[in-house]
């Protein structure tokens, strides 16, 4: 006999559910209000809604974004999506499998595949049970907008999320004698109509240029360079290492090339502030791309790259660095790029954002925080969040900043460090598995980063000694050089370690 379930408890769950939906739609009232349906906001909306929370997600434009950011997701980000039940957002968007990196140093290539058994490593670091299979880690690259649209679709179809297209203008503050607390936000819909949305917790995930950061965080982003993006026709310039992110290193700042769809390849060219060859007097960015960048690219890419410059579809984005701070505002928290940024050279932003969602989902689990109105408990959980996320984010942030300062620099000691770094990769084995595991968001142990960094520094000194020969070693000149190289290595690394430790 079929068992027909019509118990009162089930009907009551269904009806609270309807009541909540109605509260969101009619009264604009939810447990969580999220500002910004980007990578972080959309994923977090689904993650919290899956736990039964009532969520309102506010986005100023639900049109598919067309941007040059967030196009390569590291394996550690793919894994986070899987944990969130959102892995399907990478399907049907014409995404390209990424198996690792190809680094080209003054034209010589070295292949750096993502490590084997990566997923097991990650599981054992997080004390999860392994399923016993060995998998080589994979990332994905894609059109940013298509991925965002899939994430938003997941939020839109979730029964516990209401998505509203509206621009958030300011927070709503509830003031009592002793305390101040954020209880929601004011918005502007279709540029004319004022709206109000209320939630026990307001999450601000409005991206790199966050409007709310100034008020609720003591940190300010620093940007010393821009990435200039070009889109290349893939068929006319197949990359030397298919299914790999390409990093081109030479006398200019780093250049990235990676396929983002079956027919498109992205080129991102870093141009530091005040680069003389990109100044207006010298013909601007276009002329810099032609004269300085083009000759450093792999042969088969040059003609298409030159075409793309001529077609003039150049777009740029500032590359920012922003250390995270602890959220201390009752009722409000900054997340995503609004909270924390690092140079995009290593493609780490979305991996950080998605792993933050995984961590926050566990810290705000209704079993631990039944009522988000308990602001003291919520603030305590955000403090734990700040420290617990560091194992991963410190690695990704420090690596991104250190690699960028290393490869964008041009003095003699830095040149030896660059050479040493490349030689280190050429050694293969653990000398690539370690660094790429860190970059991929798989290895989450900061000491592994320090170990490899100083191994590179010593190898650089060795490279210098070999080049300068025994004679100069006897004069002591090499010893001075060696000390200088080591000193420079510290200058590259220590400020970023300090930035992670002090905040």
Ligand X SMILES: *[C@@H]1O[C@H](CO)[C@@H](O)[C@H](O)[C@H]1NC(C)=O
Question: Using CB under 6 A as the criterion, which residues of the chain lie in contact with ligand FAD when the complex forms?
Answer: 35-41, 58-61, 68-73, 167-168, 205-207, 211, 227, 317, 319, 336-338, 344, 347-351, 353
Looking at the Cβ atoms of 71 and 433, the one nearer to ligand FAD is: 71
- Chain centroid to CA 471: how far? 47
Looking at the Cβ atoms of 13 and 427, the one nearer to ligand X is: 13
| Least gap, CB of 372 to ligand X (angstroms) | 14
Q: Please, which residues bridge with residue 316 across strands?
A: 228
State the binding partner of 437 from ligand X, ligand FAD, none, CB within 5 to 8 A by kind.
none
Q: Which of 26, 37, 82 is nearest to 59 (CA)?
A: 37
| Least gap, CB of 46 to ligand X (angstroms) | 9
174/181 Cα distance (integer angstroms): 5
Looking at the Cβ atoms of 16 and 300, the one nearer to ligand X is: 16
| Least gap, CB of 159 to ligand X (angstroms) | 5
Q: Which of 347, 147, 174, 162 is nearest to 244 (CA)?
A: 347
In the complex, residue closest to ligand X by CB: 52
State the binding partner of 211 from ligand X, ligand FAD, none, CB within 5 to 8 A by kind.
ligand FAD
Answer for the pair 366, 200: CB distance below 8 angstroms, yes or no.
no
401/405 Cα distance (integer angstroms): 6
Looking at the Cβ atoms of 339 and 459, the one nearer to ligand FAD is: 339
Say which DSSP state 341 is in.
Answer: B
State the binding partner of 317 from ligand X, ligand FAD, none, CB within 5 to 8 A by kind.
ligand FAD
Task: Indicate whether 85 belongs to the interface with ligand X (CB under 6 A).
Answer: no
Tokens (6 digits) for 486: 């080591």
State the binding partner of 17 from ligand X, ligand FAD, none, CB within 5 to 8 A by kind.
ligand X
Looking at the Cβ atoms of 163 and 461, the one nearer to ligand FAD is: 163
Looking at the Cβ atoms of 16 and 218, the one nearer to ligand X is: 16
Binding mask 7-36 for ligand X (x = CB under 6 A): ------x--xx--x----------------
Looking at the Cβ atoms of 49 and 439, the one nearer to ligand X is: 49
215/192 Cα distance (integer angstroms): 25
DSSP labels for 38-70?
Answer: SHHHHHHHHHHHHTT--EEEEES--SPP--SSS
267/159 Cα distance (integer angstroms): 39
| Least gap, CB of 412 to ligand X (angstroms) | 59
State the binding partner of 21 from ligand X, ligand FAD, none, CB within 5 to 8 A by kind.
none
- The residue assigned the tokens 């509830």 is 174
State the binding partner of 112 from ligand X, ligand FAD, none, CB within 5 to 8 A by kind.
none
| Least gap, CB of 20 to ligand X (angstroms) | 6
| Least gap, CB of 124 to ligand X (angstroms) | 30
Going by C-beta distance under 8 Å and a sequence separation of 6 or more, which residues neighbour residue 108?
422
Q: Which of 399, 320, 437, 351 is nearest to 140 (CA)?
A: 351
**Which residue in the set 74, 141, 160, 381 belongs to the binding site for ligand X (CB under 6 A)?**
160
| Least gap, CB of 158 to ligand X (angstroms) | 6
| Least gap, CB of 141 to ligand FAD (angstroms) | 7
Task: Indicate whether 50 belongs to the interface with ligand X (CB under 6 A).
Answer: yes
346/247 Cα distance (integer angstroms): 9
Looking at the Cβ atoms of 70 and 100, the one nearer to ligand FAD is: 70
Going by C-beta distance under 8 Å and a sequence separation of 6 or more, which residues neighbour residue 388?
359, 363
State the binding partner of 50 from ligand X, ligand FAD, none, CB within 5 to 8 A by kind.
ligand X
Answer for the pair 76, 351: CB distance below 8 angstroms, yes or no.
yes
Answer for the pair 240, 300: CB distance below 8 angstroms, yes or no.
yes
Q: Please, where are the H alpha helices in 176-246? A: 213-216
392/218 Cα distance (integer angstroms): 22
State the binding partner of 60 from ligand X, ligand FAD, none, CB within 5 to 8 A by kind.
ligand FAD
State the binding partner of 16 from ligand X, ligand FAD, none, CB within 5 to 8 A by kind.
ligand X
Q: Is 177 helix (H, G, I), strand (E, B) or coil?
A: coil
Task: Indicate whether 159 belongs to the interface with ligand X (CB under 6 A).
Answer: yes
**Which residue in the set 18, 52, 61, 273 belongs to the binding site for ligand X (CB under 6 A)?**
52
Q: Where are the beta strands (DSSP E) in 21-142?
A: 29-35, 55-59, 72-73, 96-98, 100-105, 108-113, 139-141
35/213 Cα distance (integer angstroms): 12
Q: By rule CB under 6 A, what count of residues binds ligand X?
A: 9
| Least gap, CB of 17 to ligand X (angstroms) | 5
State the binding partner of 337 from ligand X, ligand FAD, none, CB within 5 to 8 A by kind.
ligand FAD
| Least gap, CB of 485 to ligand FAD (angstroms) | 31
Using a 10 angstrom Cβ sphere, with 0-12 exposed, 13-18 middle and 19 or more buried, the burial of residue 462 is: middle
| Least gap, CB of 4 to ligand FAD (angstroms) | 44
| Least gap, CB of 163 to ligand X (angstroms) | 15
Q: CA 329, 335, 340: angle at the middle one, nearest 5?
A: 105
Give pairs for 363-367: CB < 8 Å, separation 24+: 363/388, 364/48, 364/51, 365/51, 366/51, 366/52, 366/53
In the chain, what is the greatest distance between 2 CA atoms, to the nearest angstrom? Answer: 95
Q: Give the footprint of ligand X on this chain (CB under 6 A).
A: 13, 16-17, 20, 49-50, 52, 159-160
């Amino acid at each position: 006999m079929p068992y027909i379930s019509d118990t009162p408890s089930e009907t009551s769950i269904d009806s609270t559910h309807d009541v909540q939906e109605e509260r969101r739609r009619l009264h604009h009232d939810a447990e969580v209000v999220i500002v910004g349906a980007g990578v972080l906001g959309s994923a977090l909306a689904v993650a919290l809604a899956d736990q039964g929370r009532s969520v309102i997600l506010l986005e100023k434009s639900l049109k598919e974004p067309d941007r040059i950011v967030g196009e390569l997701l590291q394996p550690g980000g793919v894994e986070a999506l899987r944990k969130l039940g959102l892995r399907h957002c990478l399907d049907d968007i014409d995404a390209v499998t990424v198996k690792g990196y190809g680094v080209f140093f003054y034209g010589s290539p070295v292949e750096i595949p993502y490590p084997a058994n990566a997923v097991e490593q990650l599981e054992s670091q997080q004390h999860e049970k392994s399923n016993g299979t060995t998998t080589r880690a994979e990332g994905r690259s894609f059109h940013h907008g298509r991925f965002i649209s899939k994430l938003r679709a997941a939020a839109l179809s979730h029964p516990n999320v209401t998505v509203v297209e509206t621009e958030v203008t300011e927070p709503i503050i509830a003031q009592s004698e002793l305390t101040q607390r954020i209880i929601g936000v004011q918005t502007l819909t279709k540029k004319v109509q004022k709206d109000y949305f209320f939630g026990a917790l307001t999450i601000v995930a409005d991206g790199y240029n966050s409007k709310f950061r100034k008020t609720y965080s003591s940190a300010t982003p620093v940007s010393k360079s821009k990435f200039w993006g070009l889109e290349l026709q893939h068929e006319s310039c197949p990359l030397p290492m298919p299914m790999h992110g390409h990093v081109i290193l030479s006398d200019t700042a780093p250049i990235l090339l990676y396929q983002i769809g079956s027919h498109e390849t992205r080129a991102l060219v870093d141009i530091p502030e005040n680069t003389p060859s990109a100044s207006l007097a010298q013909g601007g960015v276009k002329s810099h791309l032609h004269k300085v960048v083009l000759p450093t690219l792999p042969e088969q890419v040059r003609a298409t790259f030159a075409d793309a410059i001529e077609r003039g579809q150049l777009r740029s984005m500032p590359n920012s660095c922003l250390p995270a701070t602890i959220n201390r505002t009752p009722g409000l928290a900054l997340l995503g790029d609004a909270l924390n940024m690092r140079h995009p050279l290593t493609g780490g932003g979305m991996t950080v954002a998605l792993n933050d969602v995984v961590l926050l989902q566990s810290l705000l689990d209704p079993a631990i925080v039944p009522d988000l109105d308990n602001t003291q408990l919520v603030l305590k959980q955000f403090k734990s969040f700040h420290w617990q996320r560091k194992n991963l984010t410190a690695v990704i942030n420090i690596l991104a900043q250190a690699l960028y300062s290393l490869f964008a620099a041009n003095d003699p000691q830095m040149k030896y460090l660059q050479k040493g770094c490349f030689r280190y990769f050429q050694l293969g084995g653990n000398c690539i598995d370690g660094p790429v595991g860190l970059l991929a968001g798989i290895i989450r142990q900061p000491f592994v980063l320090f170990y490899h960094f100083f191994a590179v520094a010593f190898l650089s000194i060795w490279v210098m000694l070999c080049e300068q020969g025994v004679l100069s070693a006897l004069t002591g000149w090499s010893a001075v050089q060696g000390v200088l190289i080591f000193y420079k290595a510290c200058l590259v690394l220590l400020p970023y370690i300090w930035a992670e430790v002090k905040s």
